[in-house]
Amino acid sequence: MNASRSVTVSVDLGRVRSNLQQIRGQVGVEVWAVVKADAYGLGAGTVAEATADLVDGWCVFSLEEAVEARLWERTAKGSIVLGPPVRVGCEDYREHRVRPAVSTVEQAEALRAAGPVLCLDTGMQRFACPPTDVAAVVRAGDCVEAFTHAVTVEQAKRLQDVCGHRGMKLHAAGSALLHHAPARLDAVRPGIAMYRGAVRVATRLVEARQSHGPVGYERFNARRHGLILCGYSNGLRKGPCFVNGCKHEVLEVGMQSAYVEIDAPDRVGDEVVLLGQGLAEDELAAAWRTTPYEVLLALTGSGQRQYV
């Protein structure tokens, strides 16, 4: 995916902090902020520096993400890897205060000195230890902490049933389970819940025309249409947008440009909002037939990022 020079991605760090403050007040347990995939495109290092006082640590997908964002150097708070260990040497994990997730005896033995965290399979069926192997993996890695990738309260309870009697620190709840007290256990891992409403993506009309008959590759019909310099190579899809504060539609998306519906007063240079300012990730996800996660990641990479 490419960033368009004509698109501005504004990240409101104050909104991220406000979201985190609300989460902390709600859950009453440790908060480990998910900053994988460059904080869903908002910029992991910058987000971490702006929110370090509100979290207990960071969750990344790989050791490399934590190193690249310099999370320990910037915040003096450690990270947990949620993905599988690609390397088995302990030195880099220890240097950058990153703890790997392990799911096999071999991984646990190799990474014992890095303070590995057990990842239990409660139904996701990826990168995780089956309940039958827990005792052996915990013993091999001297694990004192365990987590699971859960999408239901029942999966969080399964983690507690399997590991609760071992005196381990347990966590299962991501953004989808924050509102469910039984799933919070000893810590939560908010991801998109931190970032909702914090991103505004906008561009401007480069053409504004009266339509005459079918328009574009798809031969759509509209009274008036405008052109923006953002297309599917920049992550955009057909769906709602705002032009001068009025709700309209992205009518057709090309590789590096798109047609948008406009009104009679709209002119070249007028603003088109693709995310934010009343247009939420969930609404776009429904129109795109995908998830809010994909919407956020696509549009944060669509243009030039700036912080407010």
Instruction: Quote the DSSP letter at residue 112.
Output: G
The predicted pLDDT at position 21 comes to: 98
Q: Are 115 and 99 in contact (CB under 8 A)?
A: yes
Locate the domains of the chain by residue range: 13-195, 199-307
In angstroms, the CA 240 to CA 217 distance is: 19
Burial label for 220, CB within 10 Å (0-12, 13-18, 19+), is middle
CATH superfamily ID and name for 199-307: Lyase, Ornithine Decarboxylase; Chain A, domain 1 (2.40.37.10)
Residue 54 exposure: Cα atoms within 13 Å on the Cβ side: 24
DSSP string of 224-237? EEEEES--GGGT--
Model confidence, pTM:
0.94
In angstroms, the CA 77 to CA 184 distance is: 21
Residue 60 CB neighbours (<10 A): 25
The predicted pLDDT at position 166 comes to: 95
Q: Please, which residues have CB within 8 angstroms of residue 139's CB and are 6 or more apart in sequence?
A: none
What are the two backbone dihedrals, phi and then psi, of residue 74, each rounded to the nearest 5 degrees? -80, -35
The predicted pLDDT at position 211 comes to: 96
Helices (H) and strands (E) in the chain, counts: 13, 18
Torsion of CA 240, 200, 9, 238, to 10 degrees: -10
Question: What would the two tokens of residue 19 be?
Answer: 């979201």
Instruction: Quote the DSSP letter at residue 11.
Output: E
Q: 13-195 and 199-307 share one CATH topology? A: no
CA angle 294, 176, 119 (to 5 degrees): 90
Instruction: Quote the DSSP letter at residue 53.
Output: G
Segments of the chain assigned E as strands: 8-11, 30-34, 57-60, 79-81, 98-99, 101-102, 117-119, 145-147, 169-173, 187-188, 199-204, 207-210, 224-228, 239-243, 246-253, 258-261, 271-275, 304-307
Q: Class of 13-195 per CATH?
A: alpha beta
The predicted pLDDT at position 304 comes to: 96
How would you write the pLDDT of the chain (308 residues) with one tens digit per residue? 799 999 999 999 999 999 999 999 999 999 999 999 999 999 999 999 999 999 999 999 999 999 999 999 999 999 999 999 987 689 999 999 999 999 999 999 999 999 999 999 999 999 999 999 999 999 999 999 999 999 999 999 999 999 999 999 999 999 999 999 999 999 999 999 999 999 999 999 999 999 999 999 999 999 999 999 999 999 999 999 999 999 999 999 999 999 999 999 999 999 999 999 999 999 999 999 999 999 999 999 999 999 99
Q: How many residues does the chain have?
A: 308
In angstroms, the CA 148 to CA 141 distance is: 17
The predicted pLDDT at position 87 comes to: 72
Instruction: Please report, for residues 29, 42, 60, 209, 225, the alpha-carbon distance to residue 292 in angstroms, rounded to integers and kept in the order given.
Output: 26, 14, 19, 32, 27
DSSP string of 187-254? EE--SHHHHTT-EEEEEE-SEEEE--SSBTTTTB--SEEEEES--GGGT--SEEEEETTEEEEEEEE-
In angstroms, the CA 204 to CA 123 distance is: 45
